[in-house]
Chain A
Amino acid sequence: MSNENSTLYSKKNLPGNFAKIGQMLLAVGLILVVLAYFVDHTRSAFNNLILLMFLTSIGVGSLFLVAMEYLGGAVWSTPFRRITEFFAAVILVIPLAAIPIYFNLHDLFHWTHAEAVAEDKILAGKSSYLNETFFIIRIVFFIAVWFLFYFLIIKNSKKQDSSGDPKLTTRNIKLSAVFIPIFGLTITFASIDWVMSLEPHWFSTIFGVYFFSGTILAALAFTTFIVVYMNEKGLLIKGIKKDHYYSLGAYLFAFINFWAYIAFSQYMLIWYANLPEETFWFLQRWEGGWMYISIALIIIHFVVPYFGLLSQPSKMNPKRLMFMSIWILFAHIIDLYWLIMPTYSKDSVPLGWIELAFPILAIGAVITVFSIKAKKENHVPIGDPKLKRGLDFRL
């Protein structure tokens, strides 16, 4: 069954400067990062962790969004599902960001120091989980699983462009159903391993959910930005309209609230119970100038986007959506910074060109991956049986 839309859709190229901007950011970022490693080794390693977590957020989060569309049977997001799939390709560069971490484990993780573990009863108790071998095995396993599902799901979606076979959709629904619980577990343990174990004495059962909420928000923000941007430039298919924008805006709004809910729950419970083994983590983020970052996080990550996307018209306003998407990505970087950096520097807030280099590299990498994918492939899943319904979607 060849789809009637295939005649309406002709593949368009991204504007030339788009790829250029990505490559430039990537190049500048790369040079700065290499330089940073020469200047301050430990500090770079911590920033490298921010880079890694950011790429994980975008890549794995996007794959999750794709899987959710299949599983939920959503049609409104079908016309631009391919955009999210392009972002999921960021998964492929996660290992590149993870390799420097491997070489700097001792700088990052207190529990990798055998002499520290020997002196510390609590760390010794955790050593069957927090040891280098098992850590590496887990990381390799997580990345392998993400790779596997990336290739399986994207392959079917791509194949459908030419065949238009609805069976591929059915297959992807099943794959998504398997992927989602696996995603939940891998992202949880990845966040525990990479971020929570930076402070090996601290623990919080909600931490995986906290990281998940930020992940989805960041992935969604990138998708929203590109979809609105490309659609306003006419680079997507005809038929994506205010109704789709509204849905994207509503999802962003929902996840902003979800993040705030989870963040508040975590803070509130630890603040209220006031147990020394938990509160020190928040105290670290309140002393030595970190208070300003903590307060800024609330405002940047919640208050501003909340009021920015509260009203119905603002969720349909392309300019507002694009601005808010970039804002949320910025907020996500601040969030990661707030999670990771206090372990590096407890007494002062490290803010310098090194902290700028890694986000530049991250954004550059994501845009470059996106533009490479966008050059090669259709921007719209033209063979998807849900496409027509997606384009006809009304609120």
Chain B
Amino acid sequence: MTDKKLYSLTAVFDKPDDIINAAEKVSDSGYTKYDINTPYPVHGLDGAMKLPPSKLGYSALVLGLSGTFAAVLMIYFMSVYDYPIVIGGKPFFALPAFVPIMFEITVLAASIGTVLTMLFFFFKFPNNSHPLLETDYMKLVSVDKYGVSIQADDPKFNEDEISKLYNDLGASKILPVYWDLEEVLYEHKIVEPKFLGMLALTAIIVSGTVYFSLNKLMFMEPFSWMMEQEKLSPQQKSEFFSDGYSMRPPVEGAIARGDLPYQFADKPEMAAKILSNPLVSSEENLLLGKTKYNIYCSPCHGYFGEGDSRLRGQFPNPPSLHSQKLRDWTDGRIYHVIEVGQNVMPAYNTQMTNNEKWATILYIRALQRSLNAKESDL
């Protein structure tokens, strides 16, 4: 007895009715640190042991509701706040369509969370070093016997009294259970080389696999086939066409839909006379014109049309748009310059649509007027 440390005194019963009786007697006798072990849940034992009802229902409720809340928050953030897209004409916050995922996350959080709460919080599992495990007692109560175990650290613990109680209750066997001394006395080191080795090995394997699959595997056949397609990229040399271009020019005389060729290429005066601005100077058009002006014109002519951009001095100075000449030009004449270019100014016929050109002219007119306003403008 000296080199053994008693954990508990256990008794084994044969019948479910006996164990109910025993549980009642043991709990009535005032023992608190005792347990009943049965191979399956025996109905009525909870009442006999006077256990309070399980509180796990509440944790399920809390976990479930927090799951719902988290789901709403997540969906709201992603689909309404961070990157809203109209899909199928539905509102950004399409509640009916979010219900399925809200429900699934609720169930997931509640069920997994409740089980984990029970195992790790209520039961303090895993606990494979419990002294009751691997004993003759456990071998019996995990098959067909029903056992009571009163722990030695119970304040009322007295071996003889308990043995007597067990015998009175009709126990078929009384077994003492001892601590496994080797385990009790084992000193845990903070740094276990085995454990560290395992960690290092896991880290190497995981990072290696991730590296290989993302950086090597994805570039092997057939995964790479999406990247290596048998087609020519823009600017690549073509072996097939005699001119070596991979991009084909349109057939001669082809006209883009809705786009008539410019008729006054070398007749600026004709353009000045015939062309007129189809747009009215509405806020919308002026805004469009401003945008386009700031993109295409401002790098040389400056944001206010004074020819004072940062290019001044590095280049033939771009002219001011406020000169009398320009103010006298008709819209058609300015259109001509945008369309075909002038001196070092390139043509903008491909960059801008007709509408945009006219809108830009409207904006230029507005700029001109801002420096040389008439009295009637006030």
The answer, yes or no, to whether B57 is at the interface (CB within 8 Å) is: yes
Interface check A272, CB cutoff 8 A: yes
Q: How far is the CA of A268 from the CA of B90 in the complex (A)?
A: 12
- Please tell me if A134 contacts chain B, counting CB pairs below 8 Å: no
Q: Closest residue of chain B to A311, judged by CB?
A: B57
Within A262-304, which residues are at the interface with B (CB < 8 Å)?
Answer: 264, 267-268, 271-272, 274
Contacts of B43 in A (CB 8 A): 394
Q: Which residues from chain A contact B222 at a C-beta distance below 8 Å? A: none
Given contacts A311-B57, A312-B57, A267 and B96 within 8 Å (CB-CB): yes
Check A264/B89 contact, CB under 8 A, given A311-B57, A312-B57, A394-B43: no
What is the chain B residue whose CB lies nearest that of A274?
A: B89
Q: Can you name 11 extra interface pairs (CB under 8 A) apart from A268-B97, A272-B96?
A: A264-B96, A268-B96, A268-B99, A272-B88, A272-B90, A274-B88, A274-B89, A310-B61, A311-B57, A312-B57, A394-B43
> Min CB distance, B36 to chain A, in Å?
20
Chain B hits for A312, CB < 8 A: 57
Please give, as numbers and ranges, the residues of chain B lying within 8 Å of A272 by CB-CB distance. 88, 90, 96-97
| A267 nearest in chain B by CB position | B96
Closest 10 A/B residue pairs (Cβ): A268-B96, A271-B96, A312-B57, A272-B97, A267-B96, A311-B57, A264-B99, A274-B89, A272-B96, A394-B43
CB 8 Å contact bits of B88-124 with A (1 = contact, 0 = none): 1110000011010000000000000000000000000
Majority DSSP secondary structure for residues of B touching A = helix
Q: Which residues of A contact B89 (CB under 8 A)?
A: 274
Total interface residues in chain A, CB < 8 Å: 10
**For this complex, into which size category does the number of interface residues on chain B fall?**
under 10
Complex contacts, B96 vs chain A, CB 8 Å: 264, 267-268, 271-272
Residues in chain B near residue A310, CB distance under 8 A: 61
Residue of B nearest to A394 (CB): B43
Bound together, the chains give a CA A142 to CA B13 distance in angstroms of 61
A267 CB → nearest B CB, Å: 7
| Residue in chain B with minimal CB distance to A268 | B96
Which residue numbers of A lie inside 8 Å of B, CB to CB? 264, 267-268, 271-272, 274, 310-312, 394
Closest-CB distance, A286 to chain B (whole angstroms): 13
Complex: how many Å from CA A311 to CA B57? 8
**In the complex, what distance in Å separates the CA atom of A294 from the CA atom of B90?**
20
CA distance A267 to B57 in the complex (A): 31
Q: Which of B29-57 contact A (CB under 8 A)?
A: 43, 57
- How far does the alpha carbon of A267 sit from the alpha carbon of B96 in the complex, in Å? 9
B282-330 residues at the A interface, CB under 8 angstroms: none
A388 and B43 alpha carbons, distance in the complex (Å): 20
Inter-chain CA distance A312–B43, complex, in Å, is 18
A14 CA / B89 CA spacing, docked (Å):
59
A274 to B96: give the CA distance in the assembly, Å.
13
- In the bound complex, residues from chain A placing their C-beta under 8 Å from that of B99 are 264, 268
| B43 nearest in chain A by CB position | A394
User: Closest residue of chain A to B97, judged by CB?
Assistant: A272
The interface residues of chain B lying within 8 Å CB-to-CB of A268 are: 96-97, 99
A100 → chain B, closest Cβ, in Å? 38
Chain B residue, CB-CB nearest to A273? B88
Return B290 CB to nearest CB of chain A, in Å: 40
Q: Which residues of B are found within 8 Å of A274, using beta-carbon distances? A: 88-89
Would you give the shortest CB distance from A12 to chain B, in whole angstroms? 31
- Residues from 49 to 74 in B contacting A, C-beta threshold 8 Å: 57, 61
Bound together, the chains give a CA A312 to CA B61 distance in angstroms of: 12
A267: B residues at CB distance < 8 A: 96
B376 → A minimal CB distance (Å): 53
User: Per-position contact with A for B327-340: 1 when CB-CB < 8 Å, else 0?
Assistant: 00000000000000
5 A-B pairs within 8 Å (CB atoms) are namely: A268-B97, A272-B88, A310-B61, A311-B57, A312-B57
Smallest CB gap from A264: residue in B: B99
| Least Cβ–Cβ distance between B101 and chain A, in angstroms | 13
CA distance A311 to B43 in the complex (A): 21
Q: How far is the CB of A246 from chain B (nearest CB, A)?
A: 13
A104 to B208, CA, bound (A): 80
